[in-house]
């Protein structure tokens, strides 16, 4: 079996290549020549993920496409121009790729979507499930929802099996963004005013997400399904900081400032989105994933945090 991976040099794609290359024939679809090539992987330069990209010469012999490439950020993501940019890449570019993959004989297309398709937050102890209707709130998540819908139409028309996976926050070696910033603050030992945050949020280690994707490659029951994924243990922001500090071998000082005060301050500074991630709930129910696939996360939260800390301390 031959597997093609888009976004193959990214945070998720590169981790996938390492695992896949020991089990399958692997085609890495990359925008430009990579600095380092993994032995046994066939690298093919594909350029941008655009609606007009020609893929047919890159996909002969491919049985399964794992699509991790996406536009994640644009300046002023709330503008109409940003919505169009997200749609051009994440919707039109994805559908163009999937249609050409189906025309070329690919049997299955695995799409890395986002839990944000379900919504931005959950009520306490009312997690999102795979059966919930979509409720995206901003341009990026709307584009992911529309891509899912377009893929399902292609699957119904062409017979290619579609698998959509909606992860929450992904962390692990090579992580960037806010999680990396958190590691830096914790290593510096800076006191943080987050000791009174008792929310619950799901997250997933890179190891667990890769394991689920590989399970979905040829598991019959995965065909034409939507799956949510997590480490199967939800943490408050305070708990995450404490456990991450322990993994770093660092003590942490969390000052118990009331959450309402912090939220007010964040709104005054125009950081409402940051406040939602720090103080709000976002839980996912992975019972469908576990029951239908016979899958459980192989790595615990603590193990995932230790692996992330080990990587960070080496940098």
pLDDT per residue as tens digits for the range 130-176: 999 999 999 999 999 999 999 999 999 999 999 999 999 999 999 99
- First and final C-alpha spacing in the chain: 36
CA-CA-CA-CA torsion sign (298, 302, 307, 312): positive
Choose the catalytic residue: 24, 43, 140, 219: 140
User: What are 236-247's pLDDT values in tens digits?
Assistant: 999 999 999 999
CB 110 within 8 A of CB 63: no
Residue 9 CB neighbours (<10 A) = 20
Q: Identify the DSSP state of 91.
A: I
Cβ atoms 240, 309 nearer than 8 A = no
pTM assigned to the model:
0.93
Helix (H) or strand (E) holding 111: strand 108-112
**How many C-alpha atoms does 102 have within 13 Å on its Cβ side?**
20
110 touches 62 (CB < 8 A): no
> pLDDT tens digit string along 21-47?
999 999 999 988 887 888 889 999 988
pLDDT digits (tens, 9 = 90+) for 87-125: 999 999 999 999 999 999 999 999 999 999 999 999 988
3-state secondary structure of 284: strand
Domains and CATH numbers, the chain: 2-166 (3.40.50.720), 177-199+235-279 (no CATH)
Radius of gyration of the chain from its Cα atoms, rounded to whole angstroms: 20
Does the active-site annotation cover 140?
A: yes
């Amino acid at each position: 079996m031959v597997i093609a991976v888009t976004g193959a040099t990214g945070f998720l794609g590169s981790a996938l290549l390492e695992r896949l290359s020991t089990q399958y024939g692997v085609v890495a679809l990359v925008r430009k020549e990579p600095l380092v090539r993994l032995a046994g992987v066939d690298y093919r330069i594909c350029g941008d993920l655009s609606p007009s990209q020609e893929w047919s010469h890159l996909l002969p012999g491919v049985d399964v496409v794992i699509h991790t490439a996406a536009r994640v950020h644009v300046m002023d993501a709330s503008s109409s121009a940003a919505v169009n940019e997200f749609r051009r890449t994440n919707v039109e570019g994805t559908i163009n790729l999937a249609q050409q993959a189906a025309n070329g004989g690919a049997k299955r297309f695995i799409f890395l979507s986002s839990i944000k398709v379900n919504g931005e937050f959950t009520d306490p102890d009312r997690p999102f499930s795979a059966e919930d209707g979509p409720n995206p709130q901003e341009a990026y998540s709307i584009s992911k929802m529309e891509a899912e819908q377009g893929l399902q139409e292609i699957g119904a028309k062409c017979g290619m099996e579609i698998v959509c996976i909606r992860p929450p926050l992904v962390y692990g070696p090579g992580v960037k963004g806010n999680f990396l910033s958190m590691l830096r603050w914790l290593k510096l030992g800076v006191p943080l005013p987050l000791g009174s945050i008792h929310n619950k949020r799901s997250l997933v280690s890179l190891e667990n997400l890769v394991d689920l994707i590989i399970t979905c490659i040829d598991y019959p029951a995965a065909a034409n399904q939507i799956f949510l994924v997590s480490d199967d243990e939800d943490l408050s922001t305070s708990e995450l900081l404490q456990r991450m500090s322990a993994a770093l071998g660092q003590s942490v000082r969390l000052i118990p400032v009331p959450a309402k005060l912090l939220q007010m301050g964040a709104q005054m500074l125009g950081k409402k989105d940051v406040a939602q991630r720090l103080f709000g709930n976002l839980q996912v129910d992975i019972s469908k994933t576990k029951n239908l696939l016979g899958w459980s996360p192989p790595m615990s939260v603590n193990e995932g945090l230790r692996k992330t800390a080990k990587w960070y301390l080496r940098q």
